[in-house]
Amino acid sequence: MELTRREALHKIATGTATAVAVGSVAVGLPGQAEASGLKHAPPQALGLLYDSTKCIGCQSCVVACAEVNKVSPDTAMSPVHYVNQDLSSFTKNIIKLYKSPDNSIYSYVKQQCMHCVDPACVAGCMFKGLKKDAVTGVVTWNGDLCVGCRYCEIACPYHVPKFQWIGFNPKIVKCELCNDRVSAGQQPGCTSVCPTHAVVFGKREDLLKEAKSRVKTHPGKYADDKVFGEADGGGTQVLMLSHVNYDKLGMPRLGDESVPEKYLKWQKRLYSYLVFPVFLYGSIVAVVRKNWKHHEHEMAEEEKKTGLRAQL
Ligand code: SF4
Ligand code: SF4
Ligand code: SF4
């Protein structure tokens, strides 16, 4: 059963403290992280293939992404153009330029959510605020469940989710593969406008075949003759090809194991058995009780001295 943000906070405020007080492990608390634990993308998984050798850096995809997702432009740098230094709550998609120190090699790189096969953001969220779709594999955010703890920001190895610091009801901003458009049979905003087809949309399986075929047809053209995302960090549904080494483009070297498998095993267990939330709130209850007892003792002393009964 899914809990709303309000119910989740209410359960934390009441349920856990009660459970700790009676010395039992609470059931039904929201603190169960939902790691996909997937070793492979679902058969119908959707994704993108970005080939930096075809990208001309026109930024049409950035503008289209902002338009279709109704993300307000960041006007800090320029009041007339979309100018984004990095992924932020103002953009779910960014094109960056890499230049070698002697300016002889350059490449564009498109950064966005990679829609990981086993996403660390999902594993890191205690409240199921992020979810990987069982069919499409798309990773989406649910504002009704998110409490704004920003664990997803910390967990993501690609530094993708961004917290919106403005407004009364801030969101976590990240690419959700234009899932509303895709459900309606449309292309994502970015792929619908790319003039060189540097970024294309489709089933991950087909995109991977296409990417591998490009590598095979042009040996030596792509860095390490590899498709980034085939296995990196357990695999991603956004795949990348580039003639420049992937780490120079800011892509982390993760190995083939997923981040939840590698680093979050214990966290997953702690969340699963609710040890961490129970310990945390148990500590809070212990501190409050200690202070309360101290206060009661002080009041009793005061009453002895003055004969007046203090009110709590
Ligand atoms: S890239 Fe980051 S935000 Fe996107 S699915 Fe992977 S872990 Fe989550
Ligand atoms: S799929 Fe949609 S949200 Fe993601 S980068 Fe492309 S346009 Fe932006
Ligand atoms: S629209 Fe295509 S060519 Fe233009 S910056 Fe985006 S990916 Fe590159």
Q: Please report which ligand is nearest the Cα atom of 110.
A: 3
CA 245 – CA 46 distance, rounded (Å): 25
- List Cα–Cα distances, 58 to 61, 96, 219, 256, in angstroms: 8, 11, 27, 33
The pLDDT assigned to 84 comes to: 82
- Averaged pLDDT for residues 7-31: 38
Verify whether ligand 2 is closer than 6 Å to residue 190 (CB atom). yes
pLDDT digits (tens, 9 = 90+) for 91-144: 999 999 999 999 999 999 999 999 999 999 999 998 999 999 999 999 999 999
Instruction: Give me the residue spans of the domains in the chain.
Output: 5-31+274-306, 57-196+256-267
Tally helices (H) and strands (E) across the chain: 11, 9
Give the number of the atom of ligand 2 that is nearest the alpha carbon of residue 110. 5
How is residue 65 written in tokens? 């992404």
Give the number of the atom of ligand 1 that is nearest the alpha carbon of residue 161. 3
- Which residues touch 250 (CB under 8 Å, ≥6 apart)? 96, 98, 109, 111
| Closest Cα to atom 4 of ligand 3 | 58
Burial class of residue 198, CB neighbours in 10 A (0-12, 13-18, 19+):
buried
Give the number of the atom of ligand 2 that is nearest the alpha carbon of residue 93. 5
* Closest among 193, 115, 215 to 161, alpha carbons compared: 115
Residue 241 · residue 221 · CB < 8 Å: no
Give the number of the atom of ligand 3 that is nearest the alpha carbon of residue 60. 1
| Closest Cα to atom 5 of ligand 2 | 93
**pLDDT tier, 75 (very low <50, low <70, confident <90, very high otherwise):** confident
**Residue 32, pLDDT above cutoff 50:** no
**Residue 12, pLDDT above cutoff 90:** no
Burial class of residue 280, CB neighbours in 10 A (0-12, 13-18, 19+):
middle
d(CA 162, ligand 3 centre) in Å: 22
CA 17 – CA 23 distance, rounded (Å): 10
CATH classification of 57-196+256-267 is 3.30.2130.30, yes or no?
Answer: no
Residue 50 · residue 239 · CB < 8 Å: yes
Q: What is the DSSP string of 60-117?
A: HHHHHHHHHTTPPP--SS-SSS---SSSBTTBS-EEEEEE-TTSS-EEEEEES---BS
**Residue 21, pLDDT above cutoff 60:** no
pLDDT digits (tens, 9 = 90+) for 244-300: 999 999 999 999 999 998 887 666 666 555 555 555 556 545 555 655 565 566 667
**pLDDT tier, 2 (very low <50, low <70, confident <90, very high otherwise):** very low
**88 bridge partner residues:** 91
- Answer with the residue of higher pLDDT: 33 or 55: 55
**Residue 29, pLDDT above cutoff 50:** no
What is the signed CA dihedral for 97, 72, 165, 152, rounded to 10 degrees?
Answer: -60
Please give the model's pTM, rounded to 2 decimal places: 0.78
CA 75 – CA 88 distance, rounded (Å): 13
Q: In a mutational test of the pocket of ligand 3, which residue from 52, 59, 241 has the highest number of ligand atoms less than 8 Å from its CB? A: 59
How is residue 293 written in tokens? 């007892």
d(CA 142, ligand 2 centre) in Å: 17
The pLDDT assigned to 183 comes to: 96
Give the number of the atom of ligand 3 that is nearest the alpha carbon of residue 193. 1
How is residue 97 written in tokens? 């330029």
- Answer with the residue of higher pLDDT: 254 or 21: 254
Q: What angle do CA 176, 244, 262 make, to 5 degrees?
A: 55
How is residue 247 written in tokens? 């780490």
Q: In a mutational test of the pocket of ligand 1, which residue from 89, 93, 121, 258 has the highest number of ligand atoms less than 8 Å from its CB? A: 121
Q: Please report which ligand is nearest the Cα atom of 112.
A: 2
d(CA 285, ligand 1 centre) in Å: 35
CA 244 – CA 235 distance, rounded (Å): 20
d(CA 258, ligand 3 centre) in Å: 29
